[in-house]
Amino acid sequence: MIKAVIFDMDGVLIDSEHQWQLTERALFGELGIELTDELLVQTRGLRTEEMVAHWRNRFDLDGVDPEDLMRRYDERMVEVMKRDVPLMDGAEDAIRFFKEKGIPIALATCSSNAHIDAAMEKHNLKKYFHKMVSAADEMQGKPHPEVYLRTAELLEIDPTCCLAIEDSFFGVVSAKAARMKVVAMPDPTEYDQPRFGVADLKIRSLREINDEAFDQLQKI
């Protein structure tokens, strides 16, 4: 039985993935590094620290302070969150769907608390959430299950009774490793990738969260 639902944030509730990539591309472009669309796929869903470490391992960034790079990236994205990031189609309706069923709602994301606060305040969503957990708070990032296990612990609900909604493959793996039921909502460019078959349900939009889908997930 589903006793709690846990949303990822970027690419699920807010349409921010493109903005993350634009900011990442611009920041590294200032260092003379061109990040193509194909390269940017490699860091999708990673924490800022993991993203910077990934490119430091690939490119010559000697003399570049990684802490300064992370700080500039995060500061730019906070401003972007406040200004340019819309809700995903059907996001608030999906949240209300679970609220009306009396199911506790939580957030589990690799974004920092500053990013969470900026997005929640912009769209007035904080009132819906029982818990909001950031893997940036000294946790291992997705695909490690720590952020989902921690969220379930804070909700005081067994992970096997939680439903996670994710857009990235790393996120799906993270939630499955925590033994949760998982709805995958991949980016349209990744929707047909067979690897998302590991999810219990795959959707194109949060508009597909309805009684039929919920009943289907309850039976799994």
CATH of the domain at 133: 3.40.50.1000
State the pLDDT confidence band at 133, using cuts at 50, 70 and 90.
very high
Question: What residues make up the domain containing 38?
Answer: 17-83
Domain boundary among 30, 63, 83: 83
> Domain check: are 95 and 158 in the same one?
yes
Q: Alpha-carbon distance 3 to 5, whole Å?
A: 7
Q: Which residue has the higher pLDDT, 81 or 158?
A: 158
Task: Note the pLDDT of residue 164.
Answer: 98
Question: Could you give the residue numbers annotated as active site?
Answer: 8, 10
Residues 6+ apart with CB under 8 A from 152: 4, 6, 158, 159, 162, 178, 180
Q: Check whether residue 76 and residue 132 sit in a common domain.
A: no
What is residue 24's predicted lDDT score, i.e. its pLDDT? 95
Does the pLDDT of residue 171 top 90, yes or no? yes
Q: Are residues 37 and 9 part of one domain?
A: no
pTM of the predicted model, to two decimals? 0.88
| Amino acid, single-letter form, for residue 119 | A
Tokens of 62: 């000697």
CB neighbours of 41 closer than 8 A, spacing ≥ 6?
none
- Residue 46 scores a pLDDT above 90: no
- Report yes or no: 14 and 88 within 8 Å, Cβ to Cβ: yes
- Provide the domain count of the chain: 2
pLDDT at 166 (0 to 100): 98
Let me know whether 128 and 164 are in one domain.
Answer: yes
Q: Is 37 in the same domain as 124?
A: no
Query: Is the per-residue pLDDT at 188 higher than 90?
Result: yes
Torsion region of 95: left, alpha or beta (phi above 0 gives left; psi -120 to 50 gives alpha): alpha
Contact status, residue 129 vs residue 106, Cβ threshold 8 Å: yes
35 and 128 in a common domain: no
Pairing of strands 131-134, 162-166: unpaired
Lowest mean pLDDT among 42-51, 97-106, 132-141, 168-177: 42-51
User: In this structure, are 113 and 72 located in the same domain?
Assistant: no
Give pLDDT, residue 167.
96
Judge whether residue 136 has pLDDT over 90. Answer: no
Q: What percent of the chain has pLDDT over 90?
A: 84
Task: Answer yes or no: do 97 and 48 share one domain.
Answer: no
| 104 and 11 co-located in one domain | yes
Question: Do 91 and 55 lie in a common domain?
Answer: no
Domain boundary among 62, 83, 104: 83
pLDDT band with cut points at 50, 70 and 90 for residue 90 = very high
138 in the same domain as 78: no
What's the rounded mean pLDDT across residues 37-56?
A: 89
pLDDT at position 62: 86
Q: Answer with the one of 83, 108, 131 that is the final residue of a domain.
A: 83
According to the model, what pLDDT value does residue 61 have? Answer: 87
Is the pLDDT assigned to residue 117 strictly greater than 80?
yes
Omega of the bond leading into 194 within 30 degrees of 0 (cis): no
Q: Please indicate, yes or no, whether residues 127 and 210 belong to a single structural domain of this protein.
A: yes
